[in-house]
Structure 1
Amino acid sequence: MKTLVNFRDLGAYQTVDGRKIKPAKLLRSGQPVGLAENDKEKLVQDYQLRQIIDFRSSSEIAKKPVDSMNQVNYHNIDLMKDVETGNSSLGDLMRNGTVDEVDEAMLTVYGELVMNESAQKGYADFLAKIVAQETGAVLFHCFAGKDRTGVGSALVLSLLGVSYDDMMRDYLLTNVLRQADNAKMVAEAKAEGKNAEQLRALERIMSVDEMYIKETFTKIRDNFGTVQEFASQALDFNLNRQNDLKALLLQK
C-alpha cells in the first residue's frame, strides 16, 4: 500500500498447533484517510474488504473522516473514551512531553486498554464484529495503527493461538512501517522550533516498545490468568465464541 500507513494482512501467521490464519481476512493499519484510488481498489478488489472498524474518538474522526469505499461497511468504537493517560494527555505529550513522561503515559494506556470497563466493551464489540463478518475482510485501525490497534491485534492473534514471539514481531513491525512518516513528523516539529528533548519524546510517542505491550499482558495475567480467560470474563467472548473465531479465520 502506497498511501495506507502501517498496513498489513495478518494472514499466514502460524498458530502453535501448526495452522495458519487465512489471508485477506484480518487487516490492520493506520487511519485510511486520503488514500489513492489504486489503494482503495486494491483493498476492495484484492482483499475483498467489507468492514472497517475505527478505534478513534469522535474528535479524531471529525478532523479526518475515513475514506468511503464501495461495498464497505463502517463501524466506530471509541476505545479511549474513558481510558486514563496519566498526568498529561497524549496530545500534550506530543507537543511538549519528555521521554520519561511518554513512557509513563503509554504504560498507563496499555494497562487501561484491557482493564478499563469502557475499553473492554469496545474490544468485546470488536471481536463480535469480526466473528459476524463471515465473508470478506475486516480492516481495523486507529490514528497511527500502533496502540489501540496494536492491543487489538495482540488479543486476536493470541486468541487464535499465535505464539507470543510472533505476536510481538507483528507489534514491533510498526516501528519499521511507520519509520518514514515518523521521521516526517519529527522534521516538521524541528522546523517549528521544538527542542531536542521534545523531538525525542515525539519520536517516542509515535513508536511502539516491547515494554508497552508487556504491560498489557502483565495486567491480563495478574487479573485473569490467560488471554482466553480475559476474553471470557471481561469481553463476553467465551470458549465457544473463541472457537468460532478460529473456525472463521484459521485454515483447516
Structure 2
Amino acid sequence: MKRNKRIVLLGLCIVALACAPALAGCGANTGEEEAGDTGESKQIENTVTSESQTIGLTGVGNARQLGGYVTTDGKKIKDGVLLRTGKLSGAVTEDIARLTETYHLTEIIDLRTTAEIKGALDPVIAGTTAEQISIVNESSPAYLTTISYVSTGDPIADAIATAENGIFSETMYSGLVTDTYGQKGYREFFEKLLAHEDGAFLFHCNGGKDRTGVAAVLLLSALGVDQATIMEDFALTNDFYAKDIDYLISETKKRTADANTIEDVYALVGVNSSYMEKMFDSVDEKYGSMDSFLKDAIGLTDDDLTVLKDRYLE
C-alpha cells in the first residue's frame, strides 16, 4: 500500500473521535507502588518496547500484545492472550496464520464505526468470532461534520484541514470516557473480556491507537498495571508508526509552519501522551480515581475485577 493512502486510512481513526462531546518514549519503566499494609514500597520494572510487545504482523499496523507487564501486586499479564492492532483489512495470509496458529485467536472486537468497517472490511478468520462495538456515535453532528474532511484526494491537505478544524485537543480522550455513548461501548468491551474463555482476544479500531488506546489503558488499569507503564505502552504507537509519522510531518512542514497545526497533524498517525494524561486527570477529578471510574462509570464490580485478573494474569 502506498504511504499516502495509508495516512488517509489512519487518519479516520482520529476523525471518528470528533463525536466525543469534549471534542513518547519507551524503554524500561521503573515505578514505585505501595505494597499494602506493610508501608513498604514495591519496585516495579517493566520492559516497554516495540520489540517486547510486537506480534509480528506485516500487513496490520500497530500490532502488539499487552502480555508480559508485571502488575502492582506482582503478577504478570499472560503472554499472547490480549492483542491490540489497527484494522485487519490488510492482513496477509501469513498474518492470519500467525494469529490462528501462534496466538490461537478466537475473538475479535472491532471498535470502528459502521462506515469505517464498510470501507475496509476485516477478513473472515476461521475459528474466530467477530463483533463490532462502536465507541463513537455516528449520528452525532460533530462526527457528520468532520467525516467529510478525509478522502478529498490529497492526503496532506486532508490532514492539515482536519487539524485546522479543531477536533484535536487534549480533551479528545477525556471525551470518549466521559461521554455516555463511549462509556456504554467500553462497558460492552469489558463484558466481552469477562465472557472470553480460550485463545487470544484481539481488539482494534482503525489505526489501533485512539479508541483502542483508551480501551488498552482501561484494561491495563483494571488488571493492576501501574500508570507509568500504561503511559509508556500507550506511547508505543509512535514507534510502530514512526516511518508514517516522519513522512506526514515532513510533508506537512512543506505546506505550513504553524506549530499548532503540525502538532495536531502528528496526532493523525501518532499519539500525544499529554492527551492521555489529561484523560487520567479528568477521571480523577470527576470520579476520584481510575478504580472508581471503572466501577461507577463502566459498571465493573469487585467480582468482575477478580475474574479479569484470574483470567488474564499469572
* TM above 0.5: yes
What is aligned with 2:85?
29
Contact 1:85 / 1:109 at 8 angstroms: preserved in 2?
Answer: no
- Partner Cα separation in structure 1 for residue 272 and residue 234 of structure 2: 9
In structure 2, the residue corresponding to 1:237 is in which secondary structure? coil
In structure 2, the residue corresponding to 1:34 is in which secondary structure? coil
Larger Rg: 2
Alignment of 1:140 with 2:203, yes or no, is: yes
Give the 3 Å change call, closer, same or farther, for CA 63–194 of structure 1 in structure 2. Answer: farther
Q: How does 1:1-252 map to 2 (within 5 A)?
A: 1-81=57-137, 89=146, 92=149, 94-98=159-163, 101=166, 105-183=168-246, 195=256, 197=258, 201-251=264-314
In structure 2, the residue corresponding to 1:107 is in which secondary structure? coil
Contact 1:9 / 1:28 at 8 angstroms: preserved in 2?
Answer: yes
- Partner Cα separation in structure 2 for residue 28 and residue 91 of structure 1: 27
- Partner Cα separation in structure 1 for residue 179 and residue 308 of structure 2: 24
Q: Which runs of 5+ in 1 are unaligned?
A: none
Counterpart amino acid of residue 131 in structure 2: H
Shift in Å at residue 210 of structure 1? Answer: 1.4
Comparing 176-185 with 160-169, greater Cα deviation is found at 176-185
Counterpart amino acid of residue 51 in structure 1: E
- Partner Cα separation in structure 1 for residue 297 and residue 219 of structure 2: 14
Contact 2:113 / 2:136 at 8 angstroms: preserved in 1?
Answer: yes
Contact 2:244 / 2:269 at 8 angstroms: preserved in 1?
Answer: no
Q: Alignment RMSD, CA only?
A: 2.4
Q: Which runs of 5+ in 2 are unaligned?
A: 1-56, 150-157
Shift in Å at residue 112 of structure 1? Answer: 1.2
**Identity rate, percent:** 30
In structure 2, the residue corresponding to 1:166 is in which secondary structure? helix
Shift in Å at residue 204 of structure 1? Answer: 3.2
Comparing 136-145 with 201-210, greater Cα deviation is found at 201-210
Shift in Å at residue 5 of structure 1? Answer: 0.8
- Partner Cα separation in structure 1 for residue 169 and residue 305 of structure 2: 28
Contact 1:84 / 1:112 at 8 angstroms: preserved in 2?
Answer: no
Contact 1:221 / 1:227 at 8 angstroms: preserved in 2?
Answer: yes
Give the 3 Å change call, closer, same or farther, for CA 200–124 of structure 1 in structure 2. Answer: closer
In structure 1, the residue corresponding to 2:58 is in which secondary structure? coil
In structure 1, the residue corresponding to 2:123 is in which secondary structure? coil
C-alpha distance after superposition, 1:32-89 (max 9, x if no partner): 1121100110001101111111111111011001111111111111101167869x73
How many residues are aligned here?
A: 245
- Partner Cα separation in structure 2 for residue 199 and residue 116 of structure 1: 27
- Partner Cα separation in structure 1 for residue 108 and residue 246 of structure 2: 27
Counterpart amino acid of residue 50 in structure 1: T
- Partner Cα separation in structure 2 for residue 217 and residue 51 of structure 1: 29
C-alpha distance after superposition, 1:158-204 (max 9, x if no partner): 111111111011000000001123345567x66xx954556664333
Give the 3 Å change call, closer, same or farther, for CA 84–199 of structure 1 in structure 2. Answer: same
